[in-house]
Amino acid sequence: MRKSLVITVMLFVALAANAHAEGKGAVKVDFDPNVGWVNLNTTANGQIIATAHLDNGLANEEYSVSVRVRYEDQTTEVFADIATLSTNGQGKGNVQVQVDINPPAGSKTLRRVAIRVRKAPDPLYVAVAWDVPLK
């Protein structure tokens, strides 16, 4: 009886910790078309961090990176051409960007975050995440 009680308590603690942590970590979203992904996270000091990775981009190219954020009150901020993602001979590349965000007071999420990676005029890769939690 005591052993099952201990196991039950441990399971409850693990589930409660998981529920508390849920929504607080990074959000991973694939690019459209599916050539890579982006990890999005927010910081307690008012930034969004986006790590973009291409698996199947054009080889030996440079892409401009832009971020568009829509807040819960429907206002939008655009951070255009804030970084460059360079790919190697196999079309793989990474970049991390950080931008200061200004959500309205009391906001709990970023309603929509779009990351655009583009080699003008094409190709254009977009990753969109909905309801990214604020910390």
**pLDDT for 25:** 80
Higher-scoring residue by pLDDT: 25, 125: 125
pLDDT at residue 123 greater than cutoff 60: yes
| Domain of 58, in residue numbers | 24-133
Domain count, the chain: 1
Residue 3 counted as domain residue: no
**pLDDT for 24:** 61
pTM of the model: 0.80
**Domain CATH code at residue 30:** 2.60.40.200
CB 118 within 8 A of CB 64: yes
Length of the chain equals 135
Residue 67, beta-bridge partner list: 79, 115
Cis status of the peptide bond prior to 104, with omega within 30 of 0:
no
Residue 59 counted as domain residue: yes
Q: What are the pLDDT digits (tens) for 99-116?
A: 999 999 999 999 999 999
Tell me the C-alpha to C-alpha distance, in Å, between residue 78 and each of 60, 69, 115: 27, 6, 10
Residue 57 counted as domain residue: yes
Residue 11 counted as domain residue: no
Residue 70 counted as domain residue: yes
Residue 17 counted as domain residue: no
Q: What are the pLDDT digits (tens) for 32-83?
A: 999 999 999 999 999 999 999 999 999 999 999 999 999 999 999 999 999 9
